[in-house]
Copies of this chain bind each other. A is one copy, B any other.
Amino acid sequence: MPSEVKSLNEECGIFGVWGTPDAAKLTYIGLFALQHRGQEGAGITVNNDGHLTTKRGFGLLTDVFDSPSAVDEMTGQAAIGHVRYSTAGSNLLENIQPLPFNFSDTQFALAHNGNLTNAISIRKNLEDRGAIYHSSSDTENLMHLIRLSQEDNLDDQMKEALNIIKGGFAYLVMTKDRLYAALDPNGFRPLVVGQLPNGAYVVCSETCALDAVGAEFKFDVQPGQLIKIDASGITVDKYTDDTQLAICSMEFIYFARPDSDIYGVNVHSARKRMGARLAQEQPVENADMVIGVPNSSLSAAMGYAEESGLPYEMGLVKNQYSARTFIEPTQALREQGVNMKLSAVKGVVRGKNLVLVDDSIVRGTTSRRIVKLLKDAGAASVHLRIASPPLRYPCFYGIDIQHVRELIAANKTIEQMREIFGADSLGFLSVQGVVDSVNLKTDAPNKGLCVAYFDGKYPTPLYDYEEEYDRDQAQLQSMR
């Protein structure tokens, strides 16, 4: 569960359900459990006896659906929904998902988590042939490819289209009579299937959304699979055999909710093991207590405390209303210690030697601020321990860290970072530490994790991003 003090952003959570009354309401509840995956836009498409209606808007789910009637009036037996993080510049209503498409004789709605690596090429190619795009979202490509496919049934059109797009994607596609779910060949993003007590199927990004709607977990969607749910039940098919699991390790480290399970591994427990491993790899002598940055680092901090034998304490408190304020302290106020989101517990940290556990470091601005906050509150020393390796490379599969110049670890040594943060010591978890702590049951490389942002080894070609990546790396070389 992300703390607001991070600048790392997942692009999206998705939820779909087929064959139950109150489909839109369940989708709202499911998305509410996935809100941590995107706070800048939300939408729901409901299917009422074959007629699809979409409601979407900017902000949190509670901004878009701002009264009970806003959901209640969306009558229907199936629905898909989406919560979204939008990158600056693409701030258009048209980009908020589900994307609705109306044809003379039918309707589609698409929801997508991930990032395509050949979206620009496809769009240029199709526009040259007369295609008109509704949005600036890469998501829309799938719709065009489906409609341009010469295959004679929708199943095969889907498969053909899915084989053309590249990158990271978990797609939900609803038509008047069915719901498809598809996962990319590397399974970069999580996607699970569950079942309601009344037999209706649910497909969504994390198991926490299954729990929220009272659905029983059935299975993790596998790389390359195409799931179809319709009146005759669920069909598990595949559109490619060329697959290899490489799920985003940041899901375990930071994005996913601690109560979710991914491929059978509980996220909180994985984080706790990372914290324990971190205590082994990066111990601190003579510390008085371990504290975590709320909320995303608390599991790792517990693990560090348990392994090290140090007391686990509440040294930082997060304002639970901080998701919502539009009002920020001025820079002058900030300088004099004003902090609206995080507070140090003076009565706890005063005079103490602290192990401060954080899950990851992106730009480093937050780390610097938190160390200062604790020292201003009287901490004797702050030993910063990060429960993941240094982030040094961009992600092209759905996390918003595409510019290496913004990644402090790509530009500074560990000692430089320690100095910038004002910490007394600084240590990171190893890549192997992450891999062992998650410990997925697979013989894929890195036990099925994508760790490209740590080691630069991408599990797929980069297509449209190849050139950008090379340019970034060259620039970086020249800087070092």
Contacts and interface: CB of A to CB of B under 8 A. Distances in A.
B22 A257 contact: no
A211 interface: yes
Interface string A326-369: 11111001001111100111111000000000000000000000
A123 B104 contact: yes
Contacts of A340: 29, 32-33, 212
Contacts of A313: 302
Contact of A319 (B35, B67, B131): B35
A259 B346 contact: yes
B326 A314 contact: no
A102 B133 contact: yes
A444 interface: no
A471 interface: no
B130 A326 contact: no
B295 A302 contact: no
Interface string A108-136: 00000000000010011001001111101
B295 A320 contact: yes
A82 interface: no
A60 B324 contact: yes
B29 A321 contact: no
A66 interface: yes
B347 A22 contact: no
Interface in A232-269: 257-259, 261, 265-269
A293 interface: no
A311 interface: yes
Contacts of A148: 130
A298 B395 CA distance: 36
B345 A266 contact: yes
How many subunits of this chain does the assembly comprise?
Answer: 4
A380 interface: no
A284 interface: no
A347 B343 CA distance: 30
Contact of A325 (B32, B134, B345): B32
A405 interface: no
Contacts of A131: 130-132, 147
Contact of A65 (B32, B35, B298, B327): B327
A197 interface: yes
Contact of A329 (B29, B61, B144, B338): B29
Contacts of A298: 314
Looking at A132, A328, A330, which has the most chain B CB atoms within 10 Å of its CB? A132
Contacts of A25: 327, 329-330, 333
Looking at A213, A269, A317, A327, which has the most chain B CB atoms within 10 Å of its CB? A327
22 contacts: A1-B317, A1-B320, A26-B338, A29-B329, A32-B340, A65-B327, A67-B326, A68-B328, A70-B327, A103-B127, A132-B147, A196-B336, A197-B336, A258-B317, A259-B343, A259-B345, A259-B347, A266-B347, A268-B317, A302-B314, A323-B324, A324-B324
The 7 closest A-B pairs by CB, nearest first: A266-B347, A214-B337, A130-B148, A259-B345, A214-B336, A62-B324, A259-B317
Given A208-B317, A259-B346, 15 more contacts: A25-B327, A32-B321, A32-B340, A33-B340, A62-B321, A102-B136, A103-B127, A132-B133, A134-B134, A212-B340, A258-B314, A259-B343, A266-B347, A268-B314, A324-B324
